[in-house]
Amino acid sequence: MRCPYCGSLDDKVLESRTMANGESIRRRRECVSCGFRFTSYERIEEKPFMVVKRDGRRQPYDRTKLEKGIERALEKRPVSYDTKENILNDIEDQAIMKGRTNREISTAELGEIVLERLYETDKVAYIRFASVYKHFEDLDEFIKEARKIKKEKTAESSKSEKSESKK
Ligand SMILES: [Zn+2]
């Protein structure tokens, strides 16, 4: 698989793990050229794992979305890439275990799992996630809101830079 860091196609598998009912296999890989570690998945396409929103709508579980939410919470926190990956994998495992009967999980249940895991790891990240997430329908909104906050901050800092250069 192509290394997401340096683009080399030469990698080795460090660990393979079968998840849930054997419907998915996760492989931890390491790029032979640059040593970057990443994760790949093999799964059956037909039966996607679903996330049920509060209004009852369902959407396929999206690891990238979960990852973004967790990244936001952990931004600038002293947590390594590997730790972040582990957190993400743990949350995913728990979510799939919890929803294994119907192959779906509610956003509220998923949020609780994230909160629990962040609480164990980093209290600041936990508070960030809790204070924002609790008010939102789902991760989409959390990410949107976090982006907005970041934009506002950037706008403010560029404003203050300008006023300083005038002096
Ligand atoms: Zn590489």
- DSSP run (H or E) holding 84: helix 81-98
- This prediction has a pTM of 0.58
Centroid of ligand 1 to alpha carbon of 151 (angstroms):
31
**Spacing, Cα 28 to ligand 1 middle (Å):** 14
Q: In this predicted structure, what is the pLDDT of residue 36?
A: 96
How far apart are alpha carbons 42 and 147 in whole angstroms?
31
At residue 43, the pLDDT reads 75
Q: Is the pLDDT of residue 90 over 70?
A: yes
Looking at per-residue confidence, does 117 or 45 come out higher? 117
More confident residue, 151 or 157: 151
* Cα–Cα distance measured from residue 113 to residue 107, given in angstroms and rounded to the nearest whole number: 10
Q: What is the pLDDT, as a whole number, of residue 128?
A: 86
Q: How many angstroms separate the CA atoms of 18 and 27, rounded? A: 9
Please tell me the chain's helix, strand, coil percentages from 3-state DSSP, rounded to the nearest 5: 50, 20, 30
Distance 78 CA to ligand 1 centre (A): 24
Predicted pLDDT of residue 129? 87
Ranges of beta strands (E only) in the chain are: 11-19, 24-31, 37-43, 50-52, 58-60, 104-106
166: buried, middle or exposed (CB in 10 Å: 19+, 13-18, 0-12)? Answer: exposed
* pLDDT, the chain, mean: 83
Cβ-based neighbours of 63, under 8 Å, separated by 6 or more: 88, 92
The pLDDT confidence band at residue 52, using thresholds 50, 70 and 90, is very high
User: 6 alpha carbon to ligand 1 midpoint, in Å?
Assistant: 4
Where is pLDDT greater, at 145 or 93?
Answer: 93
